[in-house]
């Protein structure tokens, strides 16, 4: 009989983090200011350590069983990723590349986001004229960076989100796992 999927599993596993953090605090408190020669109280480290290992192993098993069954809803993910002024830092970077000092860029972006909150528009949904009211260095090319694809592609460095960087990170991870 197929096992019924429980949508609460990730939340339940996430809840285990409180238990593990508690064990960490217990161990840190135990080890703090310990004298050099007297270590009898170290016997108290076993219970939180072993419980943490058991909790981690159980959580990893649950996720290992769950991950292959995940069905991504690409359109929903894309819509969610662009919401909430996620391209604000891209606008700031754009302004800096145009010669605006970062402190001024930060202020311009703050005003742009404030305007977006008032009007219910994300940065990429604003017109050129709306954006130019905050800075006259903003030109049509700003819309190249105010897209999700432009934002992701802009981080083209090790650890960045550009597609070629992600592919390289996957290659490195696979090589390390197979070594």
What number is the average pLDDT over the span 37-65? 88
Q: Within this chain, do residues 86 and 141 fall inside the same structural domain, yes or no? A: yes
Please tell me the distance from the alpha carbon of residue 129 to that of residue 43, in angstroms, as a whole number: 68
What is the extent of the structural domain holding 100? 80-146
Give the number of domains in the chain: 2
pLDDT of residue 31: 85
The answer as to whether 124 is a domain residue is yes
Phi, psi of 4 (to 5 degrees): -75, 135
pLDDT of residue 4: 58
What number is the average pLDDT over the span 99-112? 97
**Least confident segment among 44-48, 106-110, 139-143:** 44-48
Using the Cα atoms of residue 133, residue 137, residue 140 and residue 145 in order, give the sign of their dihedral: negative
The answer as to whether 47 is a domain residue is yes
Whether the pLDDT of residue 16 is over 80: the answer is: yes
The answer as to whether 35 is a domain residue is yes
The answer as to whether 4 is a domain residue is no
Please tell me the distance from the alpha carbon of residue 147 to that of residue 137, in angstroms, as a whole number: 19
**Res. 164 pLDDT band, cuts 50 70 90:** very high
**Res. 55 pLDDT band, cuts 50 70 90:** very high
**Least confident segment among 15-29, 32-46, 83-97, 147-161:** 32-46
Query: 3-class DSSP state for residue 39?
Result: coil
Please tell me the distance from the alpha carbon of residue 45 to that of residue 71, in angstroms, as a whole number: 41
Please tell me the distance from the alpha carbon of residue 149 to that of residue 128, in angstroms, as a whole number: 19
Q: Within this chain, do residues 61 and 86 fall inside the same structural domain, yes or no? A: no
Whether the pLDDT of residue 64 is over 80: the answer is: yes
The answer as to whether 153 is a domain residue is no
Q: Within this chain, do residues 51 and 90 fall inside the same structural domain, yes or no? A: no
pLDDT of residue 6: 65
CB 23 within 8 A of CB 30: no
**pLDDT digits 0-9 by tens, 31-50:** 887 777 667 778 888 999 99
Please tell me the distance from the alpha carbon of residue 27 to that of residue 25, in angstroms, as a whole number: 5
Which one is predicted more confidently, 134 or 29?
A: 134
Percentage helix, strand, coil for the chain under 3-state DSSP, each rounded to 5:
70, 0, 30
CB 138 within 8 A of CB 146: no
The answer as to whether 30 is a domain residue is yes
Instruction: Name, in order, each residue with C-beta under 8 angstroms of 5's C-beta and a sequence gap of 6 or more.
Output: 69
């Amino acid at each position: 009989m197929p096992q019924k999927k429980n949508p609460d599993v990730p939340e339940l596993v996430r809840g285990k983090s409180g238990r593990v953090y508690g064990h960490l605090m217990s161990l840190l408190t135990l080890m703090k200011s310990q004298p050099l020669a007297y270590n009898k109280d170290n016997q108290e480290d076993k219970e939180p350590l072993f419980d943490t290992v058991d909790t981690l192993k159980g959580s990893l098993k649950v996720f290992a069983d769950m991950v292959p069954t995940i069905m991504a809803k690409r359109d929903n993910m894309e819509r969610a990723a662009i919401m909430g002024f996620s391209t604000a830092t891209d606008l700031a970077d754009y302004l800096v590349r145009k010669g605006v000092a970062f402190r001024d860029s930060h202020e311009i972006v703050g005003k742009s986001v404030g305007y977006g909150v008032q009007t219910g528009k994300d940065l990429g949904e604003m017109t050129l004229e709306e954006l130019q009211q905050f800075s006259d260095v903003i030109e049509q090319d700003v819309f190249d960076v105010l897209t999700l694809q432009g934002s992701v592609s802009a981080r083209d460095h090790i650890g960045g989100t550009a597609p070629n960087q992600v592919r390289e990170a996957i290659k490195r991870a696979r090589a390390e796992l197979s070594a």
